[in-house]
Structure 1
Amino acid sequence: MSPTYDPNDNEAGMKLLEDLTTYAYQVQQQVLAEILTRNIHTEYLRSFLNGHSDKKTFKEKVPVVDYEDVKPYIERIANGEPSEIISAQPITELLTSSGTSGGQPKMMPSTAEDLDRKTFFYNLLVPVMNKYVEGLDQGKGMYLLFIKPEILTPSGLMARPVLTSYYKSNYFINRPFNRFNVYTSPDETILCPDSKQSMYCQLLCGLVQRDEVLRAGAVFASAFLRAIKFLEDYWIELCSNIRAGHISDWITDPSCRKAVSLILCKPCSDLADLIEYECGSKSWEGIIKKLWPKTKYIEVIVTGSMAQYIPTLEFYSGGLPLVSTMYASSECYLGINLKPLSKPSDVSYTLLPNMAYFEFLLVEKNLEEESEKIQCNSVSDQNCTREENKKARMEIVDLVDVKPGHYYELVVTTFTGLYRYRVGDILMVTGFHNNAPQFRFVHRRNVVLSIDTDKTNEEDLLNAVTQAKCRLLEPLGFLLTEYTSYADTSSIPGHYVLYWELKMKGNNDLPELDHSVMERCCSIVEDSLDSVYRRCRKKDNSIGPLEIRVVKQGTFDALMDFCVFQGSSVNQYKTPRCIKSDEAIEILNARVMGRFFSKTVPFWEPFRMLA
């Protein structure tokens, strides 16, 4: 289902996009027929379809499922049972998701053919960008790309993040030559397992080749900002390397040293002087445009939880467009932004109908309007969102039958062994391109906090707070009467902030706060969060130490008064477990009586498989 074409032929690429979106209905029927015909005798589908492969039976008999429903099948494959449990094609690896609510990353099945689809998908991004930005074939992209931890499962299958899988594949390493695929970062620096050495080497190569850089970026906005912070910390040393024509001795990865040395081949004092001048300025406003003056845009994902980084990116970018090109997940690659220069708030993705079979679970009410009615503007109460999701009618429609302005939860049936699987993304239909709908990403179901690839839901946050409360506060006679949180991205890296209102048991006296106890509370909360959060803290350094701000008694009453004033119903009001309103955060910050940070890094190791 992945047509072949010359990725250097922009006209052919655009025609292919037009054909796919024009015949979206027909392509979707072919996709479903192929998936069912191919996999009808798998253990999973056989239990529901009893040998039938028609669409009507599929819709009536195969249930819509969450990860917990399919997890046992995937774990059986990870532990050595045959792929035929869920897929007629051999499962060649398991893709670990970035978000999890169970303490371990979710694992999604993948096949060799799946890499064909991903390559096809990436190739289609090229003609779209060339349509809107001229001259991209005259320079390079400074993309900061990284691999992440991977493990070998008991079956011998590799379990790793989807991007790590792609970067290590022959499809990426032997990608066809076109100028859009030419990066300032040598593959050896991208594939370096030491993230610090990788970052240093990629930035060094990007600076040396500054005059060739026409576009810059990373996968997520958070990763790009982390690179800017790294540059702030290391620009003096980077300049020293450029001036001497020699890379620092602490870069010990031999492949990195060799690859970088081919680029940093001679001393360049003039370039070092220029970088020192720009980086030594009092303000780094517009630093990207100053260091890489030919850059036409910054390519990063700034939709969903990454939208919180837009103001910071705009500060550093010097007015460069922020481009979100694609919408993808560990389950499958999904859609392309056909208007890449649109404002981040206006980004819509067109789902490519040949990537999977798409269905949509109608979310009964307008989530944003409901949020404002139930509480206060821009204050996110995931209790309410969860209740609305529970009330959502189980009305499922096909890709071409969604309606503009309506909200849906995405359900996918993939070529790799997932059937009617709820991805967890809430999308709003913004229109159509030909006969293919376009969607704006609204949010992840039940996620309340996110800084990087972490996705902490309300249940996980409650469990972490409860651990600290029960182990440290209650034995000392403290009561935690209320709490809320927000993701503070005003600094790099961002960090979780928890607001706690405390009192003493038996009276209303303000407790005396012991710094060591409160710091241990911060550490216990972090230790109790899932492995993705802990990996981001310990290995990736993409999240800063968790902070607890203890507020005066009565603070949460003031927060409720504010929400009621904004239109919330007293009867329906619940304390929001995550705050997104600037005004509400000001109310909380004005009443802070103590601030405490975690002094330890939480324990983390690559997740272990069940034997």
Structure 2
Amino acid sequence: MSSGSIRMQNGIDVEKDALALQYTAPRATSPIAVSFISKYRSFLLMHALFALADTKVETINTLFGTIFVDMIRYMEEEWDNLLKHIETGELPDWEGTDHVRQWLVLKFHASPERAAELRAIGKAIQEPGWLVKVWPMLKVVIGIASGVYSAVIPKIRHYVGPDVQLRSLGFTASEAYVGTVYDPENLNLYKVACDDVVEYLDVSKEETASNLVAPFLIRIQWQVQPGHKYEVVLTNRDGMWRYRLGDVIEIEGFDPSDGAPVVRYVERRNVALRLGGAMLSEEHLAKAILAVQDKLGPLTEFTVVMDDRSITRRVGYLVETQGELGREADEAPDKLLREICRLNPQFQFGLDTEEMKPPTIRILKPGTFAEYRRWRIEVTNSGSGQTKVPVVMWDHGAREWILTRIEREVGHSILVESKNPGQVTDSK
């Protein structure tokens, strides 16, 4: 999570860091010192090391579900090495851990029995529910998996099997805690918190202060309507006044106990791709690609770029799948086109006027998005829990980085290089 949230929840001021580094929080597997590792891969691997050494893990709590998947992927890659360290008790010398090593070595001890137990279990990553064998007491995995992050749910479910509960952390933002989990079984249903002032801007109306509404005037007169979409506008206790979070929610209803709105997360506002006369929102882009998993195969994550390899630009999906491509993967672009047209009739109009072409789908190497987060954290010197993959990738450096990791392209109409340098053609 963010350092600010952790510090506030646990009363850890910066002045107390030297003391905090010596301890392990109650019910936690990792010492607090692990949280001071800034290298993303080392940070997650060190958490995995201490967790693997503990047979009594019941809960794995991350900010986003994608972070959980990244940790398990790194654990897979370093499986033999991790078991060797658990057996010998020698702390690994991973990059970026030197400054906390003196505190970590005091907390890490040899456990040959546990190492032997894990070797007997094996790295059965293709077996559903593998992690329940690794941690027999595992009951809950917590992480935000709403909106575009819902794509990661099948991957988490594959790792933990059907009996482990998946829970959301809540509707969180750096500026405030917007909503609490309303239904533990629903990863995208939140009750709006009352610690701060939340107002709502109807996305169908002009973006002016006069169109802001509170959830209700009195308890029997609602101002927000179920089924309508609103942008969240926040005034918090720390002096932030009518700040637009940029998050769009849909009103599901109201909690009968106190009348607080119950909402579903929809998308980030103004995160969109304009092509010809059509504007494809984050919600449209996400729903469309998730709808073709029956053809393409289960996805782990995706991002979208403007595919300008030919004169007629296209919506370009860059996706990472969980395993082998589906047998009907080449049919995915056609179904994707139909889904986009269903979600956005403007796109259909553009096709009719030949201003647009079907989207392209390019498959990325396994682990690309985990490495993207690692690369982005190091480039921007940002926190491990705060780096996200954008739905639409506009940053030139990020785009160039990810385009080098394409393995193949699917579809009946694939863009290929022509004999003339700098030109491409459509090829059946």
TM-score range, shorter chain: 0.5 to 0.7
Equivalence for 1:604? 379
Q: How far does the alpha carbon of each residue in 1:148-189 deviate from its partner, in whole angstroms, 9 at most, with x for none?
A: xxxxxxxxxxxxxxx1223356625789xxx99521111100
Structure 2 residue corresponding to 1:188, chosen from 21, 26, 33: 33
Structure 2 residue corresponding to 1:216, chosen from 57, 60, 63: 60
Structure 2 residue corresponding to 1:421, chosen from 240, 243, 267: 243
In angstroms, what is the RMSD of aligned CA positions?
4.6
Shift of 1:428: 1.4
With over 3 angstroms needed to count, the CA separation of the structure-2 counterparts of 1:259 and 1:495, relative to structure 1, is farther
Structure 2 residue corresponding to 1:351, chosen from 171, 192, 196: 192
Q: Distance in 1 between matches of 2:232 and 2:129?
A: 38
Runs of 4+ in structure 1 over 6 Å off: 485-493, 555-561, 592-595, 597-603
Equivalence for 2:354? none
Instruction: Report the secondary structure of 1:308's partner residue.
Output: helix
With over 3 angstroms needed to count, the CA separation of the structure-2 counterparts of 1:188 and 1:390, relative to structure 1, is same
Q: Distance in 1 between matches of 2:266 and 2:311?
A: 41
Q: Does 1:198 align with 2:43?
A: yes
Equivalence for 1:404? 226
Give the partner amino acid of 2:43.
Answer: S
Q: Does 1:361 align with 2:361?
A: no
Shift of 1:502: 4.5
Structure 1 residue corresponding to 2:72, chosen from 209, 228, 247: 228
Q: Does 1:290 align with 2:129?
A: no
Instruction: Report the secondary structure of 1:204's partner residue.
Output: helix
8 A contact 1:286–1:318 mirrored in 2: yes
Q: Distance in 1 between matches of 2:347 and 2:42?
A: 55
Q: Distance in 2 between matches of 1:424 and 1:275?
A: 45
With over 3 angstroms needed to count, the CA separation of the structure-2 counterparts of 1:315 and 1:563, relative to structure 1, is closer
Identity of aligned residues (%): 22
Select the structure that is richer in helix. Answer: 1
Q: Distance in 1 between matches of 2:6 and 2:25?
A: 16
Q: Distance in 1 between matches of 2:79 and 2:191?
A: 40
Shift of 1:241: 0.5
The 5-angstrom pairing of residues 484-499 of structure 1 reads 494=301, 496=303, 498=305
8 A contact 1:410–1:427 mirrored in 2: yes
Equivalence for 2:273? 458
With over 3 angstroms needed to count, the CA separation of the structure-2 counterparts of 1:425 and 1:567, relative to structure 1, is closer
Shift of 1:219: 0.6
Equivalence for 1:53? none
- Structure number with greater CO (CA < 8 Å, separation at least 6) is 1
Structure 2 residue corresponding to 1:316, chosen from 152, 156, 159: 159
Instruction: Report the secondary structure of 2:199's partner residue.
Output: strand
Give the partner amino acid of 1:397.
Answer: V
Select the structure that is richer in strand. Answer: 2
Equivalence for 1:165? 4
Q: Does 1:573 align with 2:343?
A: no
8 A contact 1:218–1:299 mirrored in 2: yes
Q: Distance in 2 between matches of 1:214 and 1:279?
A: 20
Q: Distance in 2 between matches of 1:413 and 1:421?
A: 6
8 A contact 1:220–1:301 mirrored in 2: yes
Give the partner amino acid of 2:263.
Answer: F
Shift of 1:486: 6.3
Shift of 1:396: 2.5
Q: Distance in 2 between matches of 1:556 and 1:214?
A: 39
Q: Does 1:444 align with 2:271?
A: no
8 A contact 1:407–1:427 mirrored in 2: yes
Q: Distance in 2 between matches of 1:326 and 1:593?
A: 31
Equivalence for 2:211? 395
TM-score, normalised by the number of residues in structure 2: 0.62
8 A contact 1:361–1:395 mirrored in 2: yes
Equivalence for 1:120? none
Q: How many residues align?
A: 324
Shift of 1:247: 1.5
With over 3 angstroms needed to count, the CA separation of the structure-2 counterparts of 1:500 and 1:280, relative to structure 1, is same
Structure 1 residue corresponding to 2:169, chosen from 298, 312, 325: 325
Q: Any gaps of 5 or more consecutive residues in structure 1?
A: 1-144, 146-162, 365-388, 448-456, 463-484, 506-521, 527-542, 545-554, 576-583
With over 3 angstroms needed to count, the CA separation of the structure-2 counterparts of 1:561 and 1:280, relative to structure 1, is closer
8 A contact 1:188–1:255 mirrored in 2: no
Q: Distance in 1 between matches of 2:341 and 2:97?
A: 59
Q: Does 1:237 align with 2:77?
A: no
Q: How far does the alpha carbon of each residue in 1:466-507 deviate from its partner, in whole angstroms, 9 at most, with x for none?
A: xxxxxxxxxxxxxxxxxxx969997998453657475579xx
The 5-angstrom pairing of residues 38-437 of structure 1 reads 163-168=2-7, 171-172=11-12, 182-210=27-55, 212-250=56-94, 253-254=97-98, 256-266=100-110, 268-281=111-124, 283-319=126-162, 320-340=164-184, 342-344=185-187, 347-353=188-194, 355-364=195-204, 395-400=211-216, 401=222, 402-433=224-255, 434=257, 435-437=259-261
Shift of 1:418: 2.3
With over 3 angstroms needed to count, the CA separation of the structure-2 counterparts of 1:205 and 1:359, relative to structure 1, is same
Q: Any gaps of 5 or more consecutive residues in structure 2?
A: 217-221, 277-287, 321-330, 352-356, 383-428
Q: Distance in 2 between matches of 1:217 and 1:349?
A: 18
Give the partner amino acid of 2:6.
Answer: Y
Structure 1 residue corresponding to 2:338, chosen from 551, 554, 562: 562
